[in-house]
Structure 1
Amino acid sequence: MNAVGAHAAWLHPRLAAQVVRPRRDGRAETVLRIEGLADARQVLRLDERLHALPGVSRVAIDARAQRARIVWDPARLALPQLLDAFAAAGCSARPLRRDQIDDARSGEATDALKRLLVAGMCAMQVMTYAFVMYIGVVDFVDFTTRGLFRWLSLLTTAPVIAYSAQPFLAGAWRELRMRRLGVNLTVSLAIVLTFGASVWSTVRGHGEIYFDSVSMFVFLLLAARHVELRARHASGALGEAAQDATPLLAERRRADGSLETVPALELLAGDRVRIAEGGTVPADGVLESASIEVDEALLSGESHPRRRERGERLVAGSVVLGGPADLRVEHSGDDTTAARLGRLAGRARQAREPVDAADRDASRFVLRVLVLTVLTALAWLYIDRTRAFDAAVAVLVVACPCAFALTRPAALTRALAVLAGRGVLVTEPAALDTLARVDYALFDKTGTLTTPWLEPDAVEPLREGLAPTDALRLAAALARESTHPLAAALAAAWTGDTPPVESLVITATAGISAEVDGHALRLGRPDFALAPSGRAVPASAAGTLLLADIHGPLAAFHVSEAPRADAAATLQALRREGIVTALASGDTRARVATVASALGITRWAGRQSPADKLALLEVARTQGHVTLAIGDGSNDAPALAGADVSAALASGTDLAQAHAGVLLARGRLDGLLQARRIARELARVVAQGRRWSLAYNLLAVPFAAAGLVPPWLAAIGMSASSLVVVLNGLRVGRGHAAPALRA
């Protein structure tokens, strides 16, 4: 597809509606993915070129993210002309879907930064005013001047309370409405009490004021939360990459063989599309042309070429290095692998609140702080009521559980970002806590530990007059309706057309039944396939896929399988860490035994139904084990849901992925080792942060209760403590590359 044709296609109304958002002021807005931004000078030249276009009112280029946000008048400039300008500047641009224009994370980061800047500027100004009053302690400053600077300090601190501190005040209100003691409550009490007392002292004209302490307290706490926010946002990178990689245009082949450019969203299952050399695959599908090389960095994380043969599947977002290539579409739009990864990444981003146990710990901590504050105030009311307020505020601020509560979120968001960069998506953050304690792992066999394939001469007709190709064609028609690895291997062996399938029924761990060309057929385990005919299973059929009808067997398919390249090394590494490895499969005992022997697994079971696998996990749990289940098929979903923590391969079914807390997006088992290493490091860092918070409070609170720590010093100590634990949490994964496996 040439550049001009590609740009002109963006005039398609339905396509433009996906990428252009109308604004209330009559202008249009879009976000583009830019390729080829090399340096700052090129960014500057591109910015100047875009602003010179008629109707362009705003250009925001983020060179690091390789994105540009453009606002323009659609009556004066069309989208293809805008893309032409990028091409003329030597930077190819591709519009992104309009749902990425309203970037919630960008708005959250901008809001947090604005509040931080306001607090910082006000804090610096208030400290300047405070300096004049501090001088008055050692050198005379008349009372009129001191009063003026008190009022100036109040006016400068007011924006900090009214704007910068709003996240803490709103959070405290939510906690009170939920009848839960949280960190925001103690922070808000410290802010409101200290500011209120300072306002009262300013109005009266005498007494201590703490405007500098309040503004600095808010600024440093916002700084700590901003660091944590940036780490949390970094973990969404993999989902964005998956969504950005999928093109919005495709070249669909008409019935007469000619090509038409259409929105990729309009592609349907069965459509034939052409992908030019260097083009991006617009949908998931089956390769119908000769063997090609593709770059599948989207899923594998590695940009070296991979060869795909006729009949193999290609995923949306892959780049065709050879070409051109012909593809038969299977899944498009929101059903592609890339879209699924994006949704899973979104689940990970939305589920990053501390787990219930951490919430309970923080609530208990807050309750102790409040009790200690009240006791300190009561004691000083008895000793010297003029110092009661200062001492109580100092205790409240010093013992504020910010460091305690920020430890896990900071470390967790860093861990999620590191794992996402290594192709491991954690859809349930609580899974990392459990993964660090796992000592029993139950694996599925086919598709998880092994990769099946069908040799060309492995088709055995069992009925006279049935040719091997006809048998394979009928079996492929059924197999293409299933995502099971054995069915996928059978479907990949047939590259031609298949007859329509009706009345489809898939029985987990057994097989597929349907009507093909008006005949009731069954494909699967021999006992399942022969059940309607009442025929006994011949001994020679063991370990095969059998195709049969009501009269008996039609053909046998001897599917071979071999362990995944990284399976043995991954299992050995897990066993070295003291984890019991077990294998459960619905396949025959003989085939399961062969794989178990090859991989060094001593605990294995064959002919296991989903309920049987779940029972194995229950037995392990009653023995005191913390269980991990790893699978890829829909029949593994009960076990994945029933284990303490679970993992699924990206090549697995949607149902398996929906029940997995960890998704191995690159399809490699050694991602488990990376996830477990990061999980254990996360546990260590969280424990370090909690110990630091406890030690800090044990050291500082007695001095604060004794009235030896002024509130301004307490604010510095608390904020510095929070920054320490946040920065310590960001150490997770640093200096640790992906673990090298030993055979």
Structure 2
Amino acid sequence: MNAAGMHAAWLHPRLAAQVIRPRRDGRAEIALRVEGLTDPRQQLRLDARLHALPGVTRVAIDARAQRARIVWNPDRLALPQLLDAFAAEQCGARPLRREHIDDARSGEANDALKRLLVAGMCAMQVMTYAFVMYIGVVDFVDFTTRGLFRWLSLLTTAPVVAYSAQPFLAGAWREVSTRRLGVNFTVSLAVLLTFGASVWSTLRGHGEIYFDSVSMFVFLLLAARHVELRARHASGALGEAAQDATPLVAERRRADGSLETIPALELLPGDRVRIAEGGTVPADGVLESEAIEVDEALLSGESRPRRRQRGERLVAGAVVLGSPAELRVEHSGDDTAAARLGQLAGRARQARPGNGAADREATRFVLRVLALTTLTALAWLWLDRARAFDAAVAVLVVACPCAFALTRPAAVTRALAVLAGRGVLVTEPAALDTLARVDYALFDKTGTLTTPRLDPDAVEPLRDGLAPQQALRLAAALARESTHPLATALAAAWPGDTPAVHALKVSATAGIGAEVDGRALRLGRPDFALALSGCAAPAGAAGTLLLADAEGPLAAFHVSEAPRSDAAATLQALRGEGIATVLASGDTRARVAPIANALHIKRWAGRQSPIDKLALLEAARAQGHVTLAVGDGSNDAPALAGADASAVLASGTDLAQAHADLLLARGRLDGLLQARHVARQLAQVVAQGRRWSLAYNLLAVPFAAAGLVPPWLAAIGMSVSSLVVVLNGLRVGRAGTGPALRA
């Protein structure tokens, strides 16, 4: 299908409805995946071209993430015209489903930031007012002035309680509804009772007030939660990536044999579909054309293409290599295997056990605080009824879980920053608690424990007079312009100098094109490389890298795989810590066995489907193990979602990253060791902080219960306790305590 035909198909109402999101202001918004955008100058030209289109009001291009987001007036500009602008700059743009317009997370982050800013500004002002009143302890301040500042403190604290503290109040309501009391309940109870008591004292004109404690406490907790939220959002990924791999349009054959472009969701069982060479299968079905080569790594995880014969089944998301194919549809939309894979991963994540130990500890702390407050109130009701309420509030302020509630957020915030600096991004901070206790690790093979490798003698010249070394030199010139694992392997096979490269164009899924020594060359998949000449792929070319020019193929490069340079050391270190290492791969047993032997893995299995891998993890958990899954492919997503903790390499697919807790951004497995070391330090620091909280309460609560803690002393105690916890949290990941960081 040509670009014009593909773009015109987006005029179909049902197809456009899948990708365009109407806005309240009457405009439309769309998210696109953009390929081939590697030159900053090209990005500037594209930005200028898009802004010059009628009706375009906003353009956001993220070349690194291969994403663009456009807002425009649909009455003045049609979607095909928008896509034509991308094509004019030689960078293909593919609309993404409207669910990928990420307003949910950005809205959550903006809401958290606004609440934090309100709490911060109010807390600073209230502390200023409190300072004036505290001066009255050592120097006289007339009662009129003190009364004025009491009222100013009340008015300034009210927005903190009514607006900024809402996340804690909502969390407390959920805890009460589920009858599982946690820190939110204690925080909310302390804030409401303390604020209420302070308001009553202000109205009466006498009694203790704690507005400064309330506002500062809310601000500190919001700050810690905001940093944690930003780290989680920065590392997040698209949860619908498996369905994103399935095309939204398809070429359906009419009864007279002609082709029509329709939305893929309109495909029905029995429809016949044509899939172009290099195209993606839009639905599950039966192959009706001759034998073809297909890449099914999305589901099977196999590192090499598979040959499918007439009558065999193809799965949505598979890539057709070589010649075009004809498919008879059996399942489409949410019924495809790719969609079911995403659904399986979602169910596995929902079924993952929660952090019950932390919940139980929080519940015990809450009950202790409530018991102390109740006992204090009862004691003063018997001794002096007039002082009962003030004494109970004082206990609640002093025993307020400031140190307890800040211990984990402060330490986690530090841990996230340390790990980010070491190339490990954490998408689920709670997984760090689990990672410290892991004793069973399940690894994928292809792309996780292994990387592509090209031996110089695996170069096959396809043009008379071309020596293998000449072909490798030309190919390496192109390969060095890409970070794709296959390109990296090819570039590493040529240690010498390479000619200059001009007019570079990179397709993330197909290959690299450029001018080298004055002629146009392409390196990549056979269909991509041969598009310059229109020649057919040579026999046996599927699954290889092909170098070609305008006259046809030049050379084929047969890539094998080898263990990652840091795989053996990482696995050995994990085994040294008592962690069982298991290899489960979708590849054949013949290809898994040598890798397992090279890495000294005793427990391994081949031909493992996503369900098989998930079953291995569930069996290990049933035996009492705490599990870790490490992978990189979409077929690993259910295992990543179902494990107690999970990690994915930076080269992993969107779906894998969406369901992993850790992203090894530098593409090195030894990031696991860094993460585990920091996780264990985090556990130690959190335990120390909570012991400090207990000691602080044991020391301060008796004085508060006796009515000997005035507001200024309670504020100082809260500040000192918070400072101790935060400073202790900074010990996580300190220099010299972890394994040596490798570049």
> Does residue 199 of the first structure (1) align with residue 199 of the second (2)?
yes
Q: Would the aligned equivalents of 1:29 and 1:69 in 2 still touch at CA under 8 Å?
A: yes
- Give the whole-Å Cα distance in 2 for the aligned partners of 1:336 and 1:413: 37
> What letter is aligned with 2:105?
R
Q: Would the aligned equivalents of 1:247 and 1:281 in 2 still touch at CA under 8 Å?
A: yes
- Give the whole-Å Cα distance in 2 for the aligned partners of 1:130 and 1:400: 22
Q: Would the aligned equivalents of 1:47 and 1:59 in 2 still touch at CA under 8 Å?
A: no
- Higher mean C-alpha displacement, 254-263 vs 167-176: 254-263
Q: Would the aligned equivalents of 2:193 and 2:393 in 1 still touch at CA under 8 Å?
A: no
**Counterpart for residue 120 of structure 1:** 120
- Give the whole-Å Cα distance in 1 for the aligned partners of 2:292 and 2:607: 34
Q: Would the aligned equivalents of 1:689 and 1:728 in 2 still touch at CA under 8 Å?
A: no
- Give the whole-Å Cα distance in 2 for the aligned partners of 1:122 and 1:191: 15
Q: Would the aligned equivalents of 2:674 and 2:738 in 1 still touch at CA under 8 Å?
A: no
Deviations 1:636-683 (A, max 9, x none): 765543222565975769987886656786799x99986687456424
192 and 82 in structure 1: CA distance in 2 versus 1, 3 angstrom threshold: same
> What letter is aligned with 1:160?
V
Deviations 1:184-234 (A, max 9, x none): 121112211221122112212233322222112111110111112223334
1:446-595 superposed matches below 5 A: 565=563, 575-578=575-578
CA offset at residue 713 of structure 1? 2.7
**Counterpart for residue 165 of structure 1:** 165
1:176-325 superposed matches below 5 A: 176-237=176-237, 239=239, 247-249=247-249, 261-265=261-265, 271-275=273-277
Runs of at least 5 residues in structure 1 that lack an aligned partner in the other structure? 301-305, 451-561, 607-628
> What letter is aligned with 2:203?
V
**Counterpart for residue 111 of structure 1:** 111
Q: Would the aligned equivalents of 1:201 and 1:207 in 2 still touch at CA under 8 Å?
A: yes
> What letter is aligned with 2:699?
P
**Counterpart for residue 687 of structure 1:** 684
232 and 11 in structure 1: CA distance in 2 versus 1, 3 angstrom threshold: same
> What letter is aligned with 1:694?
R
CA offset at residue 3 of structure 1? 5.2
1:593-672 superposed matches below 5 A: 632=609, 639-644=616-621, 647=629, 650=633
TM-score by length of 2: 0.60
SS at match of 1:237: coil
282 and 446 in structure 1: CA distance in 2 versus 1, 3 angstrom threshold: closer
Q: Would the aligned equivalents of 2:445 and 2:584 in 1 still touch at CA under 8 Å?
A: yes
Q: Percent identity?
A: 59
Deviations 1:421-450 (A, max 9, x none): 79x999x977983884427x8999999999
- Give the whole-Å Cα distance in 2 for the aligned partners of 1:354 and 1:59: 40
- Give the whole-Å Cα distance in 1 for the aligned partners of 2:347 and 2:149: 50
> Does residue 402 of the first structure (1) align with residue 379 of the second (2)?
no
> What letter is aligned with 1:10?
W
- Give the whole-Å Cα distance in 1 for the aligned partners of 2:61 and 2:48: 8
- Give the whole-Å Cα distance in 1 for the aligned partners of 2:602 and 2:91: 57
Deviations 1:161-201 (A, max 9, x none): 11111111122222223322210121112211221122112
58 and 125 in structure 1: CA distance in 2 versus 1, 3 angstrom threshold: farther
Deviations 1:673-702 (A, max 9, x none): 866874564244223212222124424651
- Give the whole-Å Cα distance in 1 for the aligned partners of 2:591 and 2:45: 63
595 and 105 in structure 1: CA distance in 2 versus 1, 3 angstrom threshold: closer
CA offset at residue 19 of structure 1? 0.7
> What letter is aligned with 2:434?
D
- Give the whole-Å Cα distance in 2 for the aligned partners of 1:115 and 1:219: 9
CA offset at residue 127 of structure 1? 3.2
- Give the whole-Å Cα distance in 2 for the aligned partners of 1:406 and 1:122: 22
718 and 437 in structure 1: CA distance in 2 versus 1, 3 angstrom threshold: same
CA offset at residue 96 of structure 1? 2.1
CA offset at residue 370 of structure 1? 2.9
SS at match of 2:31: strand
**Counterpart for residue 546 of structure 1:** none
**Counterpart for residue 150 of structure 1:** 150
Deviations 1:355-384 (A, max 9, x none): 222211221122223334445666788699
CA offset at residue 160 of structure 1? 1.1
CA offset at residue 723 of structure 1? 5.2
- Give the whole-Å Cα distance in 2 for the aligned partners of 1:445 and 1:32: 31
CA offset at residue 395 of structure 1? 1.9
- Give the whole-Å Cα distance in 1 for the aligned partners of 2:223 and 2:336: 39
- Give the whole-Å Cα distance in 2 for the aligned partners of 1:726 and 1:204: 41
CA offset at residue 47 of structure 1? 8.7
Q: Would the aligned equivalents of 1:37 and 1:66 in 2 still touch at CA under 8 Å?
A: no
**Counterpart for residue 434 of structure 2:** 433
- Give the whole-Å Cα distance in 2 for the aligned partners of 1:415 and 1:327: 50
Runs of at least 5 residues in structure 2 that lack an aligned partner in the other structure? 451-559, 653-666
- Give the whole-Å Cα distance in 2 for the aligned partners of 1:103 and 1:357: 33
Deviations 1:457-509 (A, max 9, x none): xxxxxxxxxxxxxxxxxxxxxxxxxxxxxxxxxxxxxxxxxxxxxxxxxxxxx
- Higher mean C-alpha displacement, 206-215 vs 705-714: 705-714
CA offset at residue 725 of structure 1? 7.4
**Counterpart for residue 13 of structure 2:** 13
> What letter is aligned with 1:397?
C
- Give the whole-Å Cα distance in 1 for the aligned partners of 2:421 and 2:17: 35
- Give the whole-Å Cα distance in 1 for the aligned partners of 2:219 and 2:442: 49
Q: Would the aligned equivalents of 2:345 and 2:638 in 1 still touch at CA under 8 Å?
A: no
TM-score by length of 1: 0.60
Q: Would the aligned equivalents of 1:351 and 1:429 in 2 still touch at CA under 8 Å?
A: no
- Give the whole-Å Cα distance in 2 for the aligned partners of 1:565 and 1:134: 66
- Give the whole-Å Cα distance in 2 for the aligned partners of 1:40 and 1:195: 57
Deviations 1:532-587 (A, max 9, x none): xxxxxxxxxxxxxxxxxxxxxxxxxxxxxx998579888766554445679999xx
CA offset at residue 157 of structure 1? 1.5
SS at match of 2:399: helix
- Give the whole-Å Cα distance in 2 for the aligned partners of 1:596 and 1:60: 45
> What letter is aligned with 1:695?
W
Deviations 1:272-321 (A, max 9, x none): 42256xx88867999989989x9999999xxxxx985865999988999x
- Higher mean C-alpha displacement, 635-644 vs 181-190: 635-644
Number of positions where the alignment pairs a residue of Structure 1 with one of Structure 2: 589
**Counterpart for residue 699 of structure 2:** 702
**Counterpart for residue 361 of structure 1:** 361
**Counterpart for residue 100 of structure 2:** 100
CA offset at residue 97 of structure 1? 0.8
**Counterpart for residue 455 of structure 1:** none
Q: Would the aligned equivalents of 1:58 and 1:71 in 2 still touch at CA under 8 Å?
A: yes
> Does residue 716 of the first structure (1) align with residue 719 of the second (2)?
yes
Deviations 1:127-174 (A, max 9, x none): 344444455566665544443332222222211111111111122222
CA offset at residue 125 of structure 1? 3.1
- Give the whole-Å Cα distance in 1 for the aligned partners of 2:11 and 2:86: 17
CA offset at residue 237 of structure 1? 2.2
Q: Would the aligned equivalents of 1:11 and 1:79 in 2 still touch at CA under 8 Å?
A: yes
SS at match of 1:195: helix
Q: Would the aligned equivalents of 1:49 and 1:85 in 2 still touch at CA under 8 Å?
A: yes
